[in-house]
Amino acid sequence: MKNILIEQIKKDPIAMGAIASTHNKDIAALVLAAGKGSRMKSSKPKVMHKLAGLPLISHVIDSVSCLNPKEIYAIIAPDMEKTVGEQIKPHGHIFQREQMGTGHAVMQAKSALQNFKGTVLIMLGDVPLIDPRTIASFLNVMNKEENTVQLLTFEAKDPTGYGRVFTNMDASVSNIIEHKDCSKDQLSQKRVWSGIMAVDGEQLFPLLNLMTNDNAQGEYYLTQIVELANASDLRVGFMDCDEDEVQGVNTKANLAQLEARLQDRLRSYHLENGVTMIAPETVTFSMDTTVGPDTVIEPNVVFCPKVEIAKNCFIRAFSHLEECRVGEDSEIGPFARLRPGTKLDGKNVIGNFVEIKGSEVGTGSKIKHLSYVGNAEVGDHVNLGAGTITCNYNGYEKYKTVFEDGVLTGVNTVCIAPVSLGAFSMTGAGSVITKDVEAGSLAIARSEQTNKEGWADRFHADNQHKKKAKKAS
């Protein structure tokens, strides 16, 4: 799935030039993703929950990919192979068979990186909003200061629960002290570690081999690497970043907070690229939504993944679009639903309470009211009247309906597929079309009307008499 925010960075020669020049060593990235995420209250792996239609881990990998690393590996649990492992292809994955802490997770990459002499970048699969330019700057500081270990830190608005990062006079990191172990004075420190780290590849595993699990949880923590590096006279550096970039996802509430933040970024992107939104805060985009300039979007529109909107379109309120393409100068909605496989060639009008799925609609064609069009081929300048329905499914297979150029259907026309309506043919209102209609013909398929003279008068008189008799009794 395309990530338009990352694509924007990749198209910016200044940004990419800065990224390319920040680090002079090869990079291997490890994305820690084996955590179960029990607080999410979900059977789905935490890193597979989505922001703007894209799994958390894919956001992280997209950002890291901008740095052109030699390798990207996700550290996952074995039962995640069919979900996370498939999602991150073509990148590799490494199993952490037992959940024994972050340090233990990184140790699982020892075999894969045994001959790697560059920088190992350790990322978190549940920290999705990190900007690749921030990662590049982070590695640049590491390179300039000749640090063996580099921590990405931030000044927390509320550092409660975070381990505090303490520094020396030379701006190197002396240690990380867990919140519960901090003195009263130490608790005033607001600089904390984000969980993102970079380590010289030749020093990483020798340091990890020195780790112990002498703690209440019996786990191996990456935080210990700071103490071990200092004990070996290896410099540990840090760089502060914006707290919003490194907020993690542990609960559905966190997920909702980050979704709101990301949607704001996406709205800004589209506004800056010539899209008009009447109430931007009500419009929901996916990471790959493309919208052409001079398109107007009314409130409460949802763009699911794989939606392309051309220029000069009008998307009216409460429309829902998914895996579809809308050609230029088209009008959609209000209350329209475009489902997967819908392709509008342009200058189309798709009106209120119209649903289209798996269909191509030609230039200038209109479907304005209360219709379902599925598995259909609609030619140019076709007008499907209110209540036109294609019956495309018999419970086992789906069949195609073809409306050739210039077809006009009357109100409440039902087309039983497979069926074809020839060019410039018409149907009478209320017709059920079961046979092909020749070009230029009028098809009428309804029972003949019969008027029974005086029947209604007799009906009312009889029932009024019964009503009076019932009251009298």
DSSP output for 123-166: EETT-TT--HHHHHHHHHHHHHHT-SEEEEEEE-SS-TTSPEEE
pTM score, two decimals?
0.92
Written as tens digits, the pLDDT of the chain (473 aa) is 999 999 999 999 988 888 887 667 899 999 999 998 999 999 999 999 999 999 999 999 999 999 999 999 999 999 999 999 999 999 999 999 999 999 999 999 999 999 899 999 999 999 999 999 999 999 999 999 999 999 999 999 999 888 899 999 999 999 998 888 889 899 999 999 999 999 999 999 999 999 999 887 889 999 999 999 999 999 999 999 999 999 999 999 999 999 999 999 999 999 999 999 999 999 999 999 999 999 999 999 999 999 999 999 999 999 999 999 999 999 999 999 999 999 999 999 999 999 999 999 999 999 999 999 999 999 999 999 999 999 999 999 999 999 999 999 999 999 999 999 999 999 999 999 999 999 999 999 998 889 999 999 999 999 999 999 988 87
pLDDT at 215: 82
Distances (CA, A) of 26 to 7, 20, 118, 339, 432: 23, 11, 5, 44, 67
Domains of the chain, start order: 4-245 (3.90.550.10), 274-443 (2.160.10.10)
Quote the pLDDT of residue 297. Answer: 99
pLDDT of residue 21: 77
Which residue in 59, 369, 460, 465 is the catalytic one?
A: 369
Residue 131's nearest CA partner among 241, 228, 236 is 241
What pLDDT sits at residue 364? 99
Task: Judge whether 381 and 365 are in contact, CB under 8 Å.
Answer: yes
DSSP 257-269: HHHHHHHHHHHHH
323: which DSSP letter?
S
Task: Tell me if residue 49 is catalytic.
Answer: no
Q: Which two tokens stand for residue 315?
A: 């998307």
415 class by beta-carbon count within 10 Å (0-12 exposed, 13-18 middle, 19+ buried): buried
d(CA 314, CA 165): 52
Indicate the DSSP class of residue 118. S
